[in-house]
Structure 1
């Protein structure tokens, strides 16, 4: 295969992915105005439904703008040998391959983020503000950016440096050592994410004693689930949208409730949501996702090890001096179709697990408060209640509200 052929394969992959995404987006948009089925026609009144339609249309049009901009930027960068320019710039500061790679990715990542910041600013302070969701201050917006860059430099930079060091020391066998490092990092993040990362962005406080905590504790006892760590996070610091999530395992397992969730739902509905989260734990979904993620990472690294030494990868991006970091970029672009397939499979499992967790909540608590909580959460986030089935298959990690309610009532 020639360099030119591989270059055009990369261009074709980028364009085909974009076209397919836009086709599915347009297909989904045609169903924005569908009549609501009887089971969920009480979620919105007429004004609220019109507002939800306007929100969907606004996000759809904004999505076309941002994705088209990203496509054009990527293509211009490829055709004008942007990677060669950044690589030469990085090499002007050091001869060390690790330092060169860190400078290279630092320029690419932070530069890309700066270029796209106006879009995220508009999304937050115009669209989300217009529809009553935004609670983010400009100070918080800027601080989040800075903290994100620091985390990327410290965590991402450290892992990348280790992987390149393994590559230099062990050659094609680097993937085994890299896999070990990523696995340890993944396990640590799963266990201690709430302790290590969340406090950098949000304030967490233990759920205070009272009726809600008593009800949660009572439910946990009935299903033999030891739950000492129940936290409330200040989600209202950024948005009015509500959420809850389960993190960690073993002695580090905890449930985190958004303060907006507590404000929006009744106690019984919150317990039902928590029962759903407990269902994920009891059904081993968290372990499954963790193990699957580790295995997929190992597979990806193994495939990477087969191709990374081939100078064709770097040359296809217009870079004369082959290197690990340029090869990694080219591999990522070529690997994207496989990532799409694995993503579809994981979304299928995720939707299946959501049904199982709903059933667990129904069997160990009650179905009705979970149904009403799902309706309220959908209403408060102006969710699309009539997505196209193909779009759901391609993009949704959760079943639709209609499907979940039908399942809960079956």
Structure 2
């Protein structure tokens, strides 16, 4: 079983590396094309950023593999030798927290490089070191409080129920729904300042769109995203009565009113087509399959790792191997998501016009320096949105065959 897992993880690594090399080659070739969608200067910057990001992904993937191999070869057995406390549940929480803390510090250099080197170099990141440290401290504190409680309850479920994987799934999915519900009103304000939208004309137009779509929200807010990043975005956050419209201040500053309404119309398209419910159902299916798998791990795997089949070891293996399971299932979910994006584009163009949505998508791509070309394998493996050229063509914008 252990050899099979290492073989699958090795194949996972090879596919990721191959996809990154293919993406670099695709972008290198496309750099010589006549710029489309983006301005000539941003076209070259976007290509350079994507190449740099892929090179970093290659190094990061190799690094993650060595960390994974280290845990499998000796790390888990070494950590299992320590008995932190006699209470089994508390010991499980401390064990999992120690595992996560080691991984956090091992991967922190990559996050620092991404934030303060790569994203700064290309004009995305605006975050100060003080804000970054404060964000990390808040995130760690929240994780210690709520993550600790989550792992404690999961440990109790594993200890006391024969079919713990079923109850564990129900509990975990309930937590996910709860987090989504409180995210815009409780979690976001801990990191960003949310203020009611001041532009009354824009606010009235947005509320008219919401009414037309049959969506009730708890308000329209502007988020001070520019203190961390210059990229543009907007989203509908929350579930039930907690739903609210959140616009990045960078988006408000860069888009015209009709463009902004077209973007929000696209998001409302997801609501009208029940894509949110579909995404929740898809996530539930993926999570359920993971719990079925990890709830029936053979004892031979734990013997091969020289550890006991304890609650904390099951949770750690879940954390280690779930990215592999997600990677296998992502192409299917990505394909469904891309189909939903086309339908949302249709609704967004009906809310304003195809021209308005095209204009907004072009500005978003240019400001975010999103390179318009990607290798088909990258699209199949990772893309939840269709390539921008294809979205724009569906909306009536045409490109020369040479550019495509």
TM-score, normalised by the number of residues in structure 2: 0.91
1:126 to 1:37, Cα distance in 2 relative to 1, 3 A: closer
* 1:101 maps onto 2:92 in alignment: yes
Matched, 1:10 2:1: no
Quote the offset at 1:306 in angstroms.
2.4
With over 3 angstroms needed to count, the CA separation of the structure-2 counterparts of 1:111 and 1:215, relative to structure 1, is same
C-alpha deviation, 1:33, in angstroms: 3.4
Deviates more, 1:114-123 or 1:221-230: 221-230
Distance of aligned partners of 1:94 and 1:29 in 2 relative to their CA distance in 1, 3 Å threshold:
same
Match of 2:38 among 39, 44, 47: 44
Q: Residue 384 of structure 2 aligns to a residue in which SS? A: coil
Give the distance between the partners of 2:310 and 2:202, measured in 1 at CA.
57
Are 1:25 and 2:4 an aligned pair? no
Q: Deviations over 1:377-398 (max 9, x none)?
A: 1111211211012210111011
Name the counterpart of 2:110. 119
Would you say 1:85 and 2:73 are equivalent positions? no
The count of aligned residue pairs is: 397
Q: Give the deviation of 1:149 after TM superposition.
A: 1.7
1:1-49, Cα deviation, whole Å (9 max, x unpaired): xxxxx222222122111111010111111111344899x9442333222
CA distance in 1 between counterparts of 2:80 and 2:312 reads 9
Quote the residue 1:408 is aligned against.
Answer: 395
Could you tell me how far apart the structure 2 residues matched to 1:182 and 1:150 are? 20
Q: Does the CA-based 8 Å contact 2:235-2:246 persist in structure 1?
A: yes
Partners in 1 of 2:32 and 2:395 — Cα distance? 16
Matching of residue 69 in structure 1 with residue 63 in structure 2? yes
Contact 2:221 2:244 in 1 (8 A): yes
Deviates more, 1:60-69 or 1:333-342: 333-342
- By how many angstroms is 1:192 displaced? 1.8
- Shift of the 51–281 alpha-carbon distance from structure 1 to 2, 3 Å rule, reads same
More deviation in 221-230 or 330-339?
A: 330-339
Deviates more, 1:298-307 or 1:324-333: 324-333
Distance in 2 separating the partners of 1:127 and 1:174: 43
Q: Deviations over 1:167-186 (max 9, x none)?
A: 2222x222232223223212
Aligned-pair CA distance for 1:60: 1.8
Tell me how far apart the structure 2 counterparts of residues 241 and 337 of structure 1 sit (CA, whole Å). 29
Q: Name which of structure 1's ranges 381-390 and 152-161 shifts more when overlaid on structure 2.
A: 152-161
The corresponding residue for 2:173 is: 183
TM-superposition CA deviations, 1:63-92 (whole Å, max 9, x none)? 22222222223223333x111111222x1x
Gap change, CA 1:21 and 1:99, over 3 Å in 2: same
Which range is displaced more, 394-403 or 68-77? 68-77
**CA distance 1:341–1:15, shift in 2 (3 Å):** closer
State the SS of the aligned residue for 1:44.
coil
Contact kept? 1:347, 1:397, Cα under 8 Å:
yes
Query: What secondary structure is seen at the aligned counterpart in 1 of 2:374?
Result: coil
Aligned-pair distance for 1:224? 4.3
What is the DSSP-based 3-state SS (H/G/I as helix, E as strand, rest coil) of the residue aligned with 1:245? strand
Counterpart of 1:343? 330
Matched, 1:304 2:294: yes
Query: TM-score, normalization: structure 1?
Result: 0.90
The question of whether the paired residues in 2 share the 8 Å contact of 1:371 and 1:405 is answered with yes
